[in-house]
Structure 1
Amino acid sequence: MSRTRKELVAAGARLAALGLSPGSSGNLSVRVGDRMLLTPTGADLAELDPEALSELSLHGEHLAGPRPSKEFPLHGAFYRRDPGTGAVVHLHSRNAAGVACLAPWSPRSAIPPLTPYFVMRVGQSPLIPYAAPGDPAQADVLEALDFDFRAALLQNHGPITSGATLAAAVDAAVEIEEVSALLLRLGSHRPRLLEPEQIRELTAKYGTTWDG
């Protein structure tokens, strides 16, 4: 059993324990060379089997293992956009899904720069227009966006994050849920946002992107 498979199972268990993947929702993947390991369709992230993961090409060809999550096109889109992407996490976490039902803050980020940790760990996160779950056209839209981002909100659906490592993608998923909870709690109050120079300092130090 490979270390990568064990890490994917552990990440799923962590996200489930945090309450971020209700029922059998959510899917995770890790890039392994020119392939990806992906959680199978209908999988409970709390009970993943390291020997029962789906293996696909980066273009979505099913190579081995059980039938993959129908969201595999979104994972492939992130890997093809950026060769440095090593993992992708898609959840239906309550607060981020709630923000995905609102109008976006800007064309390049559904969520404003509320906290330093959101800017540090996630960065700008566009709202991707609605499509039925698993619709490859939504992945095409995500892949074609001509600006940098590591995470997005899928309209009326939920968050998807990526990272150079699985740990980074998981941390981004946790952080986007936390900042979404804060945004919803603020309600109609007009929040004080980070200043442009504060944002530039954080993105320069932590390698994230904020240009919207």
Structure 2
Amino acid sequence: MTDETKLREQMCLLAKSLFDRGLTGGSTGNISARTADGGLLVSPTGTSFGRLDPARLSHFDASGTLIRGDAPTKEMPLHSAFYDTRKGAGAVVHLHSCHSVAWSMMPDVDPDNFLPPMTPYAIMKLGKVKLLPFFLPGDPAMGAAVRGLAGKRSAVMLANHGPVVAGKDVEAACNAIEELEDTARLAMLMRGFDANMLSAQQVSDLVTQFDVEWDA
């Protein structure tokens, strides 16, 4: 089995896991990963995470030309923006996960630090998450908004739409986006309660101890 074959199967396996647990439904969401030769494998347009075919993933070469497979997701500008601006990005995942979308609709959310400091793991895996405004699905302006961050964020939340996370590989990206959704769910559960959040000092200690990207 070649490395590319393993990557194709891993992408489809992880996507199905996300789908089976209700983290994205229908034909929503998209996933991509770098190949060893600098190309990209991308989930095709209009496909379900629950039924991705490893052989039909869109395959781009290192120059960005589609060389085989089905037509890619319409969110390619979003994926390309992360790869072009974040050194070391090996995979990108985008979901329409319920609780993170719900949290994006709350009027008092901090757009520069979307998730409240509730657990150490969201901070460790995601750093600060940027809330971006609403865009029409497929709008290239989403990619432009990510490029405008100049590679400083590994995760963004598209308002009223869904999260997008880049990771060093496809497993890391999937783990991180699950942490984002779990934290948003906690935030919704605790909304209206006087919950004990992590203190500023505790957040600072996490950032230092685990070498987290945490722009001021």
TM-score normalised by L of structure 2 = 0.90
C-alpha displacement of 1:71: 0.9
C-alpha contact 1:59 1:76 (8 A) present in aligned 2: no
| Structure 1 match to 2:127 | 123
Counting aligned pairs with the same residue, the percent is 34
Q: How many residues align?
A: 212
1:28 paired to 2:28:
no
Q: Which amino acid aligns with 2:17?
A: R
C-alpha contact 1:150 1:162 (8 A) present in aligned 2: yes
In the aligned structure 1, how far is the partner of 2:68 from the partner of 2:208? 40
Q: Which amino acid aligns with 1:80?
A: D
1:41 paired to 2:45:
yes
One of 66, 72, 81 as aligned partner of 2:70: 66
C-alpha contact 1:28 1:39 (8 A) present in aligned 2: yes
C-alpha contact 2:111 2:130 (8 A) present in aligned 1: yes
Q: Which amino acid aligns with 2:171?
A: A
C-alpha displacement of 1:108: 2.0
In the aligned structure 2, how far is the partner of 1:207 from the partner of 1:160? 21
Distance of aligned partners of 1:193 and 1:71 in 2 relative to their CA distance in 1, 3 Å threshold: same
| Structure 2 match to 1:84 | 88
C-alpha contact 1:60 1:72 (8 A) present in aligned 2: no
C-alpha displacement of 1:195: 2.0
| Structure 2 match to 1:93 | 97
One of 185, 202, 206 as aligned partner of 1:198: 202
CA RMSD, Structure 1 to Structure 2 (Å): 1.9
C-alpha displacement of 1:59: 7.8
TM-score normalised by L of structure 1 = 0.91
Distance of aligned partners of 1:147 and 1:42 in 2 relative to their CA distance in 1, 3 Å threshold: closer
C-alpha displacement of 1:60: 5.6
Residue aligned with 1:43, SS: coil
Deviates more, 1:107-116 or 1:88-97: 107-116
Distance of aligned partners of 1:57 and 1:29 in 2 relative to their CA distance in 1, 3 Å threshold: same
- Where do 5+ consecutive residues of structure 2 fail to align? none
For 1:9-28, list aligned pairs within 5 A: 9-28=12-31
- Where do 5+ consecutive residues of structure 1 fail to align? none
In the aligned structure 2, how far is the partner of 1:57 from the partner of 1:189? 50
1:184 paired to 2:188:
yes
C-alpha contact 2:86 2:151 (8 A) present in aligned 1: no
